[in-house]
Homo-oligomer: A and B are copies of this chain.
């Protein structure tokens, strides 16, 4: 196992939910809490993809999840775990993507206000989704400092509660339920692989897997143009502040202190993938599995095809993280 050595992190944390990894009981509580809210997504297989990859692939289809991505699991777990008084003041988050829509939907289902801080360069289609679910949008500049400033201002004005997109144990526990379902649906997996961006999905996947079967090897897949997580884990220092350059628009975030800590303890390796290989894998999934996945999801298959020796003959669970694609701009 290529586990990474643990070093101390100096990063400040913003809330108690950002400082402690969820335990097995928290993950099972999350599964119970979001049952009936989130979809139990199907696991698909393909004879021809197995033949191409040289291993047995089990695809957990989170592109079929509500809002079209696994993000709804973590958002729903966080929103529905709030006490009534806190919930009534509303939830605040920052996101230009699926987490914003997921928080907006979870809050609508709970009947509480949602505030989403969105940078000015967010696609109109994502803004529309957040608005359609009834959230109030707070525009900000693209720079992280301005996002943080507006977010703090909204928190102060509303008295609302922050739900971070990934550096939050409740969100991680929610994302972990995808792997939990997959491991129950397909016993005896040898390995799991998910994309990595901020690390919420991947760290939840590691925790769920190792709670059930400590021997499962967990992998992350990361774009070459945004491989801060790979470099962080190799160097033992969390890399921050780089500019991401990848068409995987869901994989441009950086690890948080909490997800970094969890991955250092649990991860086998992060596999770095060129965008061209990701696009080829995306097309292969559309053709063979007959499902619509975004590039940020297809990267997991691309990583397997790029490093087949790691998976040869093994039973591999692949979390296909989302399917929100502009159908007028497919990348081939």
Contacts and interface: CB of A to CB of B under 8 A. Distances in A.
A291 B290 contact: yes
Contacts of A328: 332
Interface string A313-332: 00000000001000110101
Contacts of A63: 290
B64 A327 contact: no
A47 interface: yes
A323 to B, nearest CB: 4
Nearest to A320: B290
B290 A286 contact: no
A328 B64 CA distance: 24
A286 B290 CA distance: 10
A293 B286 CA distance: 10
A104 to B, nearest CB: 14
Contacts of A47: 66
Contacts of A66: 47
Interface in A279-303: 283, 286-287, 289-293
B323 A290 contact: yes
Quickly give the copy total for this chain. Answer: 2
A64 to B, nearest CB: 6
Interface in A8-64: 42, 44, 47, 61, 63-64
Contacts of A330: 327, 330
Nearest to A44: B64
A195 interface: no
A68 to B, nearest CB: 6
Contact of A327 (B44, B68, B289, B332): B332
A328 B328 CA distance: 12
Given A42-B42, A283-B327, A327-B283, A290 B332 contact: no
A290 B325 CA distance: 9
17 contacts: A42-B42, A42-B44, A44-B64, A47-B66, A63-B290, A64-B290, A68-B290, A287-B292, A290-B291, A290-B292, A290-B293, A291-B292, A292-B292, A327-B330, A327-B332, A328-B332, A330-B330
Interface of A: 42, 44, 47, 61, 63-64, 66, 68, 283, 286-287, 289-293, 323, 327-328, 330, 332
Interface pairs A-B: 8 shortest CB-CB: A290-B323, A63-B290, A290-B292, A42-B42, A291-B291, A286-B292, A64-B290, A286-B327
